[in-house]
A and B are shown apart, each in its own frame.
Chain A
């Protein structure tokens, strides 16, 4: 199997499998960390260890992170929670139309609640137009919400430029950064990034589905989305899952330690594929300076879905637009916002890599692609 769909989800790594199997069979590590008996306290301590490790790896304090169920929950909590708790911060939110649906749907809800959302256009490379942003930020701006790395194209956000505009135009406006696709691939050091909130997801870094992280800088108030027993300092109620916290931490440790190697290897794979694909008249939609882990490409003569199924014959897996929404028959809104023609967008697939992919796989991919063109290209007379 050649799995080039790592932006949809990733295979859990060995370290995570170890943690899970050890803990799920353990004598007492399943206790409720909220219980005050001995085994509860033991689990609570282990939970705090996970928090400490994770926060250290992200470059922040343990008090600044909350475990959530997924990236989507992190985004929902950050956007809604910040605005709900800071009514006087302003009524405007700034974002782009190429965000993940978790952001776009939350913004739509906020709009219906009376907030003004300003969408900054993106250029051909998927980056927000900075002069437009400069003009948009004002004293009414409460929040800016951007994606660190776009899930469909790998476009990298010009973060330093964006934080500079915020600092210049309205230093009290906050920034939420969706880091779901950048974690483990770009260096994430929250102490240096100058953002106020950030969201992460476990299953995109070889952990399991069901766990995410929300970072909120100390001193920033936010209203919890999930209320109840007051766990995690009341910021996210619900019985703590030591199992999931550890599964996240284990994956993050490994992702961080292997990050540089993985980046180098995947860059080589990406350059090789770009070169070979261009030779075959495929159109690369990902910008030149995109994160090498994502390669969005249009295959002329093949609808995205058809190419996906052709590759499937050879046990090669990619995705059409973003995997969460591939059932709807629309072309990618991310690509059309970037100015990609509809016909080209309809032929686009996303290849996305992980540290487990090899150059060998890339070569087989190209070989099979030639076979596919040979066998399945519809040549109308």
Chain B
């Protein structure tokens, strides 16, 4: 049957109507695979909630995203389609994604025409591209041509109609993929995703978020292993300004682009901190403070169904991150403390921070709680007797209880 070219939801010269996303590690899962895939689709749905009504479905190791009905503005121009592509690649579990054009026809003329429209749109985003080649796959064996022939015909047609392009089979600027299946697809270019596992498949963790460079990266890393996040921030107004708090909220938003919905718990830490400085030796303040923070975080974690705490600690980076200090802070909580940056170099952390778009926010120069109260020369190798002495005059249990009850603010991110 020779049908006319069926073009649906094409508006103007728009050449994209579907995003094709590839799954990675998820597809290696055995019996659980279905659960992982369902979670991934849910996460995509949540991440793309501002982009209008979308249909998200899966076939083999791919997920397809397209407009539910005609006229979704996202697919109206190349720029907004690129935004949605960017959002898709930020969802953990996606290895890469491409803007594609899906069409339905069963003759080579239709394929040629649709491929040409796609290429013209694609070149609007990448005007610098001068060479290309065509690769094709034929899943629908009823299609009258074989793959090499399809490549010839489509490539030739594009060469004729786009004078700025030439063919280069060894090192093309882009490869045009033509797939003939039940539906046909053309696409070029591939945006790499953040890989990992879908958030929500590895439980939930409570991230201690400070406003620095490390903690957002730590959150990102755990989320990349499928962990859902809540976060806690210790606010000491007026020693830390509301701008510092806003900065933490902004950082939580940045992390949540990857990790999905989260609650940010803002603990009113002022009184606790003042009591602490008044009643314990200055050189142990940092350690004592961290021990109380961890206990407050653990209480919140237990209340909100988190199975672990997450910190941005890196061995030896500052006084409270020596092995001795880590030992002494670790022992006050029962939940495991995950420290994904423990062996990472600061430069590598900064690179990752830049990659997730947190760096510029992290380095904004507002005071944060760690800087105001700390001693000039904190103890770097604290011993048990030191901490016993330091806490002798403190009502630790009272402080922890105050932290989770007095003036606790919950911000939905």
Contact = CB atoms under 8 A, between A and B. Distances in A.
A379 B279 CA distance: 9
A305 B367 contact: yes
B238 A312 contact: yes
A378 interface: yes
B274 A376 contact: yes
Contact of A378 (B279, B281, B367, B372): B372
Contacts of A380: 277-278, 282, 375
Nearest to A312: B238
B102 to A, nearest CB: 50
B263 interface: no
Contacts of A306: 238-239, 367, 372
Interface in A220-273: none
Contacts of B367: 303, 305-306
A315 B279 CA distance: 31
B280 A313 contact: no
Contact of A381 (B241, B270, B279, B372): B279
A303 B280 CA distance: 22
Nearest to A377: B274
A368 B79 CA distance: 55
B237 A309 contact: yes
Interface of A: 303, 305-306, 309-310, 312-313, 327-329, 376, 378-381
Interface string B255-282: 0000000000000001000100111111
Contact of B282 (A310, A327, A328, A381): A381
A376 B280 CA distance: 17
A376 B281 contact: no
A309 B239 CA distance: 8
Nearest to B284: A381
B237 A379 contact: no
Contacts of A310: 238
Interface in B235-252: 237-239, 241-242
B129 interface: no
Nearest to A328: B365
B366 to A, nearest CB: 9
A327 B282 CA distance: 29
Given A305-B367, A381-B277, 7 more contacts: A306-B238, A306-B367, A309-B238, A309-B241, A378-B274, A378-B372, A380-B282
B238 A378 contact: no
A380 B242 CA distance: 24
B373 interface: yes
A129 to B, nearest CB: 34
Given A305-B367, A329-B365, A378-B274, A313 B238 contact: yes
A381 B394 CA distance: 13
Contacts, number: 40
A309 B367 CA distance: 12
A327 B238 contact: no
A313 B241 CA distance: 11
A372 B148 CA distance: 81
A374 to B, nearest CB: 11
Nearest to B285: A380
B210 to A, nearest CB: 17
A155 B372 CA distance: 32
Given A305-B367, A327-B365, A329-B365, A378 B241 contact: no
Nearest to B273: A378
Nearest to B271: A375
Interface string B193-228: 000000000000000000000000000000000000
11 contacts: A305-B241, A306-B238, A309-B238, A309-B242, A310-B238, A313-B238, A378-B277, A378-B372, A380-B278, A381-B277, A381-B282
Contacts of A303: 367, 372
B330 to A, nearest CB: 25
A303 to B, nearest CB: 7
Interface in B324-339: none
B238 A381 contact: no
Nearest to B371: A303
A312 B239 CA distance: 12
B306 to A, nearest CB: 31
B373 to A, nearest CB: 7
A298 B241 CA distance: 19
B153 to A, nearest CB: 61
Nearest to A372: B238
A331 to B, nearest CB: 14
B406 to A, nearest CB: 15
Given A306-B238, A312-B238, A313-B238, A381 B278 contact: yes
Interface string B342-386: 000000000000000000000001010000110100000000000
Given A305-B367, A306-B239, A313-B238, A378 B373 contact: yes
A5 to B, nearest CB: 16
Contacts of B239: 306, 309, 376, 378
Contacts of A378: 239, 274, 277, 372-373
B197 to A, nearest CB: 40
A381 B237 CA distance: 21
Nearest to B279: A381
A328 B365 CA distance: 8
A7 B280 CA distance: 41
A313 B279 CA distance: 25
A126 B110 CA distance: 82
A36 B156 CA distance: 67
Contacts of B373: 378
Interface in B3-51: none
Nearest to B270: A376
A381 B288 CA distance: 14
6 shortest interchain CB distances as A-B pairs: A309-B238, A310-B238, A329-B365, A380-B282, A380-B277, A379-B278
Contacts of A313: 238
A327 B244 CA distance: 12
Given A306-B238, A329-B365, A381 B274 contact: no
Nearest to B274: A378
With most chain B CB atoms within 10 A of its CB, the pick from A305, A310, A313 is A305
A381 B279 CA distance: 7
Contact of B277 (A305, A312, A329, A379): A379
Interface in B46-73: none
A312 to B, nearest CB: 7
Contacts of B241: 305, 309
Nearest to B278: A379
A74 B75 CA distance: 51
A170 B281 CA distance: 63
A294 to B, nearest CB: 23
Interface string B279-320: 111100000000000000000000000000000000000000
Contacts of A327: 365
Contacts of A381: 277-282
